[in-house]
A and B are shown apart, each in its own frame.
Chain A
Amino acid sequence: MASAVFGDFLSAASEHLAAAVTVGDGENTSSAGVTRDLHHLVAVMSRYCDDLIPCDMVEAAGRNDLHVWERAAVDVGSALSFARDCLRRTIAEARVETDVTTAWQASHLAAAATELAAGRDLLNTHLAVDPGGLMRERSEWAPVVTSLPVTRALLNELARQSRQLAPLTAWLAGLLPRAGPRSSGQPASAPARDELANASQWLQVAGAAARAAFGVDPVRTGDTELLSAIPPAIPPQRQRPDSAAESIAEMCYGIAISASRLRATAHRDKERAGWSPIATSGSWQWTAQAVAITSHLGELALRSLAVRATQLADRPVTGAQLQKAADSMISTCAAWRQVDQVWDLLFTESQLQPTPAMTDASDLVLRMGRLVWNDPQWTPAHSQRGPRRTPDALAPGAATLVEVVSAAHQAVDAFARIATNDTDAVAAAIRAGRLYTPTRSLPDDYDVPRPFAPAPMARCAALQDAYRAAVDASIDTAGVFDELAFAIGAQSRALGLARAAASMQSRRRGRQSPVDNDPGDLLSAGISSMHSRASTGRAGSVEQAIRDRRVSDPVLLLRAAAIDDAARELMIRAESALPMPGSPGSLESARHAISGPAQLAAQSFPKGPTMDPPIEIRRVQSRSPRDVMKTRQSQQGR
């Protein structure tokens, strides 16, 4: 496909990153300029993790239902956000002038950041956030973008990049002067060198965080391949069938374009069937006919390829495998013919109007026909009859054979998508009472003084049965082609990976899930002291106040959550007039005092309040990764 895919951006970013981290001896390097672009790059990487995480670090600490890669997303994301913050403070500490000479590393880092940001934009074209804050799918690739395999591959890549950046960051720290004595009256602040050193450690933490998940659930080759193959949500531009003869490769390319456009249209039209005047029985029936015809033509093409496969010395596939694929096309054709025939006695109140999907399906039929018949002007009309293309003309070599199979795979995959979406759309039309039938076709006891009557339920049920059979047949055929595409290394194999991945979802923040439907939602509008993370899984009033100040320090957030939990417990006790935890003679409250959240809160408070400086909420102290991880481990251990 000619349009950019995610892999294009990822590859470019990787190349720039590899160039940036290659530190040569004696290079004239400006640490300040590099740090600014490094910060930008790490910020982009951190935003990727923000997209991937199912919950924040604090919530994750209390959850035991996260998949290893979901937890890795939280850990990598947290580490990257700490690294980003360290780098931001480095820039502030060093008081970098904006016109500082940019080193060659900086330009590579900036380019890597730009490529990664563009890749993220591409992924985000598939998802939209509605006014309620929930994520909505905008394309047929959306379930792939949020799938576990893609999450796995993306996190693995981010972790790899973090590991690449850590030594560079440490090297940059070495370029800065050591801190001098702090003058009195200055606010407590880590010098730029220390911030950079901490950033380097956090990048190492990010790199290591994915390794644990990798050990449990390794990243598959197919995961990376699928990630790289993700296209933007904008369908490719139509490739009008050329009036001049197209080569086999051009026809295959055109088929892939039409299939891609059909998949996108099917996804878009699904929601409109209950009311849209362009969703008509005519368009649905025409689609069924186009799929049946294309399946018929595809079967003929595969039979030819099967013959050709026996002739080629370097055949990538056996004739039997291709015959099996051809047989599956017959099943698809038969199922769609049944749909077509059931439509004979059913129709909507609106007349057929040409739709974009019909245009793309027409292109698909034309090109598939021109692959099969040796006539560059072939059309379905009787007048355009011509001889069949010979097997050696259809696939002169193994590479062309693979291309034709790939094109058929694209078409079959689009049919599976159309079948599913049309089934839903027709069900919506039935629910909306949009289907009618000729009165004459009804039994005599129907006394309707008009040529058409509302479709009887039995006919609607027959239509839905026919569509369900078409879905089954189309998906089975797509499965056959998925295997075939893998076997021969066809470019279309990403379609099979996508189909498999869509059924393995990785939870994301903002996606509708059972957690989102929790009654706790009702509480989020008005946070009270009866609401805490322990009771609802959402931030309580103190934690929310901290978050509102854009503080992301996990220790502070854990303490805030513990305070909310303690406050909630206090309120419950007060309302039920029970003894307070820790009050003499109460065994239960003693147990609470040992293991409850109040203890966590108490232990998180500074031990010597008069000796430590007050906590500055707006300016978070820099903490080394080792310290923070130690604190987290000790808190989780309790």
Chain B
Amino acid sequence: MELIKPIQQHLLDADGVSGVLATGWDAFELVRAVAGASADRAADLYPAFTLARGAAVSGRNAIALAPSMPVDSATLFAPSAPPEADVYEVADALADLASALSGRLRETAELAADAGDRAACENAARDADRISELLAKGK
């Protein structure tokens, strides 16, 4: 949980296409790692966390195909211990992060000059939307 908020802030602060792409990679990686670690904590959330993890991998890979993605800025999160916070709150927090990520990626897609960057941002935004749909508490 302690990493989710800072990355969300980084997303808001990220500047330029390269900056958003690099932070977007980190955000997807974080969702992948946290969702994977949280899947076993509640039987009813196992499907949502598992599919969200898959969408995070897909979004991260989409970003990596963007021409403006800085090669040396991509980090990989190692599998971590499950977060200590309530698992449903973790799901909500990840959904919020994904929602923010989707918004920034769509904004960046509109600004990007390179068609490859635009396509990568739009594809990754769809994956972020999927994560948000899966993990948001909704009703």
Contacts and interface: CB of A to CB of B under 8 A. Distances in A.
A451 B64 CA distance: 6
Interface of A: 282, 285-286, 289, 292-293, 296-297, 300, 337, 340-341, 343-345, 347, 351-352, 365, 369, 373, 380-385, 438-441, 449-452
Given A289-B54, A438-B74, A451-B64, A380 B47 contact: yes
B109 interface: no
A47 to B, nearest CB: 50
Contact of A382 (B50, B65, B137): B137
Nearest to B61: A347
B76 A449 contact: no
B18 interface: no
Contacts of B88: 382
Contacts of A337: 50
Interface residues of B, number: 36
24 contacts: A285-B54, A286-B54, A289-B51, A293-B47, A296-B43, A340-B53, A341-B36, A343-B57, A347-B61, A352-B58, A373-B44, A380-B51, A381-B48, A382-B45, A382-B48, A383-B137, A383-B138, A438-B61, A438-B76, A440-B72, A440-B74, A451-B64, A451-B69, A451-B74
B71 A449 contact: yes
A340 B43 contact: no
B69 to A, nearest CB: 6
Contact of A451 (B43, B65, B135): B65
A285 to B, nearest CB: 6
Interface string B35-56: 0100000011111101101100
Interface of B: 32, 36, 43-48, 50-51, 53-54, 57-58, 61-62, 64-65, 69, 71-72, 74-76, 88, 91-92, 95, 123, 133-139
B71 A439 contact: yes
Contacts of B43: 296, 300
B64 A293 contact: no
A382 B51 contact: no
B138 A344 contact: no
B135 A340 contact: no
A345 B76 CA distance: 10
Contact of B50 (A293, A369, A438, A450): A293
Contacts of B45: 382, 385
B13 to A, nearest CB: 22
A438 B64 contact: yes
Among B71, B74, B95, B138, chain A packs the most CB atoms within 10 A around the CB of: B71
A285 B61 CA distance: 13
Given A285-B54, A285-B57, A381 B138 contact: yes
